[in-house]
């Protein structure tokens, strides 16, 4: 019934009940995560009144990830109190499992869809042999259920004992007063500003620049120029940045200086890589290209190092075991990152979270000398295994060809393959990689996420 990337027949799953869902296994979970829009097909089954269909639809809806929450909440458009009641239960199952910050963010997203429930005086049908999710003591109306849901989500310390003691006619003004305060709770200018601040700047291309500190000062301009003229010079971060500025779209926001593999991973994951604990995640499937400008050797892509005044380059190698992410990109560090048991603070695997940020046709460019030579092939293969995107690299040297006048370097942005006599051009996108690993078939999720 379920095969690879075939379109999921939600109706067949729901009609097949638990047995059909169990057969789907991990593949079903992956496909549901990949297609949050399928929740729209499942929601109407909550209004059928048929216990088996309702139970199966509820189970399916709880298997989607957070990207389906707004689709599920929009189910309140169905004019059916029972369906709305089950939607609240499904949303509760999703939101209660989140940390406080993530829950607050998603509550702001779904609450506007639920507002109409505060005016629904009908009593939903309960039962369906699921007493653990039913308010047994109270025959609450949908407006009461919505009121309680929103208050409990706003504060898990909310005490509903007083509300529970009220008669129906006494509960009505309480709910109505809450509805009048709805905009203050969820629609204030401050809330709007918070929401706007959380919206990601949709960057489809990132450029990563490694940390190789500048060795020449302003007073050394002539000396640096002469070293470059004599071929006794190598690029530092300043030069990588000059090249990056030429071809990176939205360079003020899309160029990141990092000094470790972990810094690179943070730039892929977070809107603000410098503040991973508070930053929103980049939207899923939003990144189409990552460029890494640095020095390298076969099998090692440096994230930091030094350059001396004679053009000697020393690549930083650091860490072992759990510390591998603090050093360069090599086979060991990539294998650490690919470990499915390595989790982010939100409990999700690092590797899957990285893959989810990439578009299906995404590419990573290793713009470093000999990044595809010799021992680089296993590294490229492991990087493809980690990111599930194309890895593009160069067997030859990447030449930096600064433009010179009589006293200093005029323009640092020229590059070429192998040597500057081959014709240099500003930027990096004219550099054509001669080895590519992977088909780029990988993100297992969908676009437009701003928090997960």
> Above pLDDT 90, what percent of the chain?
60
Output the pLDDT for position 371: 95
The CA distance from 243 to 424, in Å, is: 12
Output the pLDDT for position 296: 95
pLDDT digits (tens, 9 = 90+) for 26-80: 888 888 887 887 888 899 999 999 999 999 999 999 999 898 898 899 899 899 9
Cα dist. 204→181, 196, 282, 440 in Å? 39, 19, 10, 15
Output the pLDDT for position 319: 53
The CA distance from 369 to 393, in Å, is: 9
Output the pLDDT for position 188: 53
Instruction: Kindly state the tokens that stand for 136.
Output: 């047994």
What burial class does residue 390 get, using C-beta atoms within 10 Å of its C-beta: 0-12 exposed, 13-18 middle, 19+ buried? Answer: buried
pLDDT at 199 over 50: no
Domain boundaries, the chain: 10-129+137-187, 197-437
The CA distance from 179 to 155, in Å, is: 17
The CA distance from 80 to 76, in Å, is: 8
**Stretch 188-205: mean pLDDT:** 60
**Stretch 360-384: mean pLDDT:** 93
Output the pLDDT for position 113: 87
Band of the pLDDT at 201, cuts 50, 70, 90? low
CB neighbourhood size of 33 (10 A): 20
Instruction: Kindly state the tokens that stand for 182.
Output: 């709805």
Q: Where is average pLDDT lowest: 181-185, 305-309, 386-390?
A: 181-185
What residues does 364 pair with on adjacent strands?
290, 391
Band of the pLDDT at 194, cuts 50, 70, 90? low
Collapsed DSSP state (helix, strand, coil) of residue 274? coil
Query: Which residue has better confidence, 311 or 318?
Result: 311
Output the pLDDT for position 445: 36
pLDDT at 449 over 50: no
CB-based contact 346:356 (threshold 8 Å): no
pLDDT digits (tens, 9 = 90+) for 104-127: 888 988 998 899 999 999 999 876
Output the pLDDT for position 323: 60
Cα dist. 338→301, 319, 386 in Å? 17, 17, 5
Antiparallel, parallel or unpaired: β 414-417 and 398-400 = antiparallel
**Stretch 174-178: mean pLDDT:** 96
**Stretch 290-304: mean pLDDT:** 96
The CA distance from 358 to 360, in Å, is: 6
What residues does 442 pair with on adjacent strands?
none
Query: Which residue has better confidence, 129 or 249?
Result: 249
**Stretch 145-160: mean pLDDT:** 91
E strand spans, 294-445: 296-297, 300-301, 305-307, 313-315, 358-367, 390-393, 398-400, 403-404, 409-411, 414-417, 425-426, 435-437
**Stretch 385-389: mean pLDDT:** 92
Band of the pLDDT at 348, cuts 50, 70, 90? confident
Task: Quote the radius of gyration of the chain (alpha carbons, Å).
Answer: 28
| Location of structure tokens 């509550």 | 107
Output the pLDDT for position 37: 76
Antiparallel, parallel or unpaired: β 403-404 and 398-400 = unpaired
Output the pLDDT for position 158: 87
Band of the pLDDT at 279, cuts 50, 70, 90? confident
pLDDT, the chain, mean: 86
Q: Where is average pLDDT lowest: 194-203, 280-289, 313-322, 348-357?
A: 194-203
Rama region for 185: left / alpha / beta (φ>0; ψ in -120 to 50; rest)? alpha
Q: Look up the pTM and report it.
A: 0.57
CA atoms within 13 A on the CB side of 50: 10
> Above pLDDT 70, what percent of the chain?
88
pLDDT at 229 over 70: yes
What residues does 209 pair with on adjacent strands?
257, 293
pLDDT at 210 over 70: yes
Sheet holding 358-367, edge to edge: 255-258, 205-210, 287-293, 358-367, 390-393, 435-437
């Amino acid at each position: 019934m379920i095969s690879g990337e075939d379109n999921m027949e939600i109706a067949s799953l729901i009609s097949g009940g638990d047995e059909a869902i169990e057969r789907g296994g991990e593949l079903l979970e992956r496909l549901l995560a990949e297609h949050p829009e399928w929740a729209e097909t499942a929601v109407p089954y909550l209004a059928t009144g048929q216990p088996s269909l309702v139970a199966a639809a509820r189970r399916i809806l709880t298997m989607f990830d957070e990207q389906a929450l707004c689709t599920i909440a929009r189910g309140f458009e169905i004019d059916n109190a029972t369906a709305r009641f089950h939607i609240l239960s499904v949303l509760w199952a999703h939101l209660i499992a989140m940390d406080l910050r993530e829950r607050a963010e998603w509550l702001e997203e779904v609450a506007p869809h639920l507002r109409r429930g505060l005016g629904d005086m009908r009593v939903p049908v309960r039962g369906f042999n699921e007493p653990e999710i039913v308010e047994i003591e109270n025959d609450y109306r949908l407006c009461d259920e919505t009121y309680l849901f929103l208050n409990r989500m706003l504060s898990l310390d909310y005490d509903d004992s007083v509300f529970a003691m009220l008669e129906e006619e006494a509960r009505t003004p309480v709910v109505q007063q809450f509805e009048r305060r709805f905009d203050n709770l969820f629609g204030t200018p401050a809330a709007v500003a918070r929401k706007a601040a959380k919206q990601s700047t949709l960057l489809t291309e990132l450029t990563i620049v490694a940390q190789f500190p500048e060795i020449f000062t302003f007073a050394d301009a002539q000396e640096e120029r002469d070293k470059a003229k004599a071929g006794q010079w190598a690029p530092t971060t300043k030069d990588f940045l000059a090249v990056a500025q030429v071809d990176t779209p939205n360079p003020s926001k899309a160029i990141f200086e990092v000094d470790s593999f972990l810094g690179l991973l943070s730039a892929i994951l977070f809107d603000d890589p410098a503040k991973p604990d508070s930053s929103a995640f980049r939207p899923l499937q939003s990144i189409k290209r990552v460029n890494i400008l640095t020095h390298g050797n076969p099998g090692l892509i440096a994230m930091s190092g030094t350059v001396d005044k004679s053009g000697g380059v020393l690549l930083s190698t650091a860490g072992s075991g759990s510390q591998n992410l603090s050093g360069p990109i090599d086979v060991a560090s990539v294998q650490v990152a690919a470990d499915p048991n390595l989790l982010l603070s939100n409990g999700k695997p690092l590797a899957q979270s990285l893959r989810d940020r990439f578009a299906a046709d995404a590419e990573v460019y290793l713009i470093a000398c000999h990044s595809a030579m010799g021992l680089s092939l296993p590294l490229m293969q492991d990087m493809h295994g980690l990111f599930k995107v194309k890895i593009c690299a160069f067997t030859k040297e990447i030449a930096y060809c600064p433009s010179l006048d009589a006293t200093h370097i005029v323009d640092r942005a020229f590059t070429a393959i192998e040597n500057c006599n081959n014709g240099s051009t500003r930027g990096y996108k004219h550099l054509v990689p001669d080895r590519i690993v992977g088909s780029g078939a990988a993100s297992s999720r969908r676009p437009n996420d701003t928090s997960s």
